[in-house]
Amino acid sequence: LLIEKGVAMGWTYDPTNIFARILRGEIPNRTVMETPHTLVFHDIRAQAPVHVLVIPKGAYVSLDHFAAEAPEAEIVDFHRTVAKTCAILGLSGADGFRAICNTGEHGHQEVPHYHLHILGGRPMGRMVEPV
């Protein structure tokens, strides 16, 4: 029985998710920058003066899916794009920023296409609030 690796790991990609629709051009976005493998756009409900989402163009559900299965060129491009984004948005200085990657149910991930939130422009508070 042949089982695709991603499916065996529980990484079943849903091509109807909202970021897949953005990538197909079905929904508009405010693009910060784009490369052959990566798209950066402003979050529609910004939670800080700067709040952008960095997403791979490939069909990856989560950080661990992307890190396990994406070709190296896509992984390198993603992270170089993070660096360029921080520079473009003025986040590369001493003030810094917060990068968040919510994953799965415990991580409270709402959109099942891997995305890295980059937030800045104000102190972001503690990493995780006490429950």
Exposure of 124 in the CB half-sphere (CA atoms within 13 A):
20
Q: Does 17 bind ligand 5GP (CB under 6 A)?
A: no
Q: Which of 5, 45, 106, 126 binds ligand 5GP (CB under 6 A)?
A: 45
Give residue 101's identity as a one-letter amino acid code.
C
Binding mask 75-104 for ligand 5GP (x = CB under 6 A): ---------------------------x--
Q: Read off the DSSP letter of residue 85.
A: H
Which positions are annotated as active-site residues?
115
Q: Does 64 bind ligand 5GP (CB under 6 A)?
A: no
CB of 34 to ligand 5GP, least distance (A): 14
Cβ atoms of 102 and 112 closer than 8 Å: no
Q: Does 110 bind ligand 5GP (CB under 6 A)?
A: yes
> Given the rule CB under 6 A, which residues bind ligand 5GP?
18, 27, 29, 41-45, 102, 108-111
